[in-house]
Structure 1
Amino acid sequence: MRISEKTSQDGRAPTRPGLSGPAARRLPVPPRERKPALAALAVLLILGGALATTLLVMRSGDRVSAVQITQQVGAGQLIPQSAMQEVQIADTGVDYVPWRFKDQVATTYAAVTLLPGTLLTQRMTATTTDQVGPGKAKVGLSLKAGQMPTDLKWSDIVQVIYVPSAGRGSGSAQQKVLATAARVESASSGRSGGGLVTIVVDTSIAPTIAQYASSGEIALVTLPGVK
């Protein structure tokens, strides 16, 4: 017995799947080409990144001794050892001054204002300074109690005042300011309240200050807040 094919409603014989239509006309897809060179490059990049990360972690564990500033040092001022302390930091390749050079640092000047907490680098120091350079002079003073503040210290800014002694008979000499802003280079206080002080002033007034200081007619007044 033969089974006849049913026709569709429009009278055409139904098509068999897989024998005609767009699917039958589709071109075969070629196999994907493998690129071993790119795969190898990707592996190398991954390994390189992992190695770099490992090196950074290992380097972060390396510690070196450096110089840290503990008190403000104005630009042009000598950097004292009392303003330095040793700290341990990671070796990041920055040219921080090693702690073993602290003695050499104490003979240099601040090229910029150094704030507490600053890690010192070589560019922050200078071997010369405008504060003690051409046109400047250091004057040593031996002062008595009452002629200087008891808390006078290095780097203070002071006024240098001429105070005529009571023994001057003419009475024409009057008190006057010889230097409006002299920087204290060093200061040491004695038990009696006086002390030895070295100040930096202009060369034009230095001889006058030295002359008055020899006769005990110099007094220093600090200027708080001035650096």
Structure 2
Amino acid sequence: MRIRPTSARGGLPPAAASAESPAALSGPDGRRLPASPRRRRPDLAALAVLLILGGTAATITLMLNGSARVSAIRITRQVTAGQPLSRAGMEEVRIAGTGIDYLPWSQHASYAQRLALVTLLPGTLLTTQMTATASEGITPGKARVGLALKPGQSPAELRAGQRVQIISLPRQDPGDRTTTVLAQSALVDAVSDPGTHGPPRLVNVIVDAALSPRIAAYASNGQIVLAYLPAAH
């Protein structure tokens, strides 16, 4: 029976001791330290997902808000009730859609000669309820009076939508030179202009109903003159 020799210290055989000694490990495997298992961070992954979703939602909100903006008409000059609007007194403004029927800027040309039903201050956003055409200007308490005017009894460039004073001419009596303002501010509703030397010019005016009988009486005698009142700005 053979007995395997042992090391001088009574341990493993020299070959086994040499195989398990640190000196026996060579190359990369001999220099690599044991790697610790990588720890997962599920909380950071969830936070990243929330940030992505939040950014996407914010982008969609901005896009929707931007697409909901509309172009409206804003008044830049004061227009008193009954006076016509003007293109020079309007400007385009972009506003968020609110459901109110603000007039779109694309219609500003057609509203430039409409009449203001109420006094419009600078900064007012125009709506359909704030304006009317000349034919819509007659309301309860008002009356439409037709005038047949000779050349010289009305301004040459008179047109519908303007405001005029209605003045009575003196009577045929040479001693009577009295003139009277019959209506301080009457709205011209319609004008028929046949020419300077043609038939009388036919003009419809809207006045207070209480003034209409007197104006009609003077008009039937040809004793009416219209004086143009410039629009307030």
Find the partner of 2:189 among 185, 188, 193: 185
For residues 152 and 69 of structure 1, do their structure 2 counterparts lie closer, same or farther at Cα, with a shift above 3 Å needed?
Answer: farther
The answer for unaligned runs of 5 or more in structure 1 is 1-30
For 1:72 and 1:195, locate their aligned partners in 2 and report how far apart those are by CA, in whole Å: 32
SS at match of 1:147: coil
Quick check: 1:157–1:226 contact (8 Å CA) kept in 2? no
For residues 125 and 154 of structure 1, do their structure 2 counterparts lie closer, same or farther at Cα, with a shift above 3 Å needed?
Answer: closer
Sequence identity (%): 42
The structure with more helix, counted as a fraction of residues = 2
The answer for unaligned runs of 5 or more in structure 2 is 1-38
Q: Which residue of 2 aligns with 1:20?
A: none
| Bigger-Rg structure (1/2) | 2
For 1:205 and 1:137, locate their aligned partners in 2 and report how far apart those are by CA, in whole Å: 9
For 1:125 and 1:159, locate their aligned partners in 2 and report how far apart those are by CA, in whole Å: 22
Deviation at 1:161, TM superposition (A): 1.5
> Post-superposition, which runs of at least 4 consecutive aligned residues in structure 1 deviate over 6 A?
66-72, 87-91, 99-102, 115-119
For 1:162 and 1:74, locate their aligned partners in 2 and report how far apart those are by CA, in whole Å: 26
For 1:111 and 1:179, locate their aligned partners in 2 and report how far apart those are by CA, in whole Å: 19
Deviation at 1:142, TM superposition (A): 1.0
For 2:192 and 2:73, locate their aligned partners in 1 and report how far apart those are by CA, in whole Å: 26
For residues 46 and 201 of structure 1, do their structure 2 counterparts lie closer, same or farther at Cα, with a shift above 3 Å needed?
Answer: same
Please state if 1:205 is matched with 2:211.
yes
Deviation at 1:138, TM superposition (A): 1.4
Q: Which residue of 2 aligns with 1:150?
A: 156
Q: Which residue of 2 aligns with 1:40?
A: 49
Quick check: 1:111–1:124 contact (8 Å CA) kept in 2? yes
For 1:51, the aligned partner's letter is: I
Please state if 1:196 is matched with 2:205.
no
Instruction: Please tell me the root mean square deviation across aligned C-alpha atoms, in Å.
Output: 4.8
| Structure 1 residues 52-79: Cα deviation after superposition (integer angstroms, max 9, x where no partner) | 344456x38x988x77989986434577
The size of the alignment, in residue pairs, is 184
Q: State the TM-score, normalizing by the size of structure 2.
A: 0.55
Q: Which residue of 2 aligns with 1:51?
A: 60
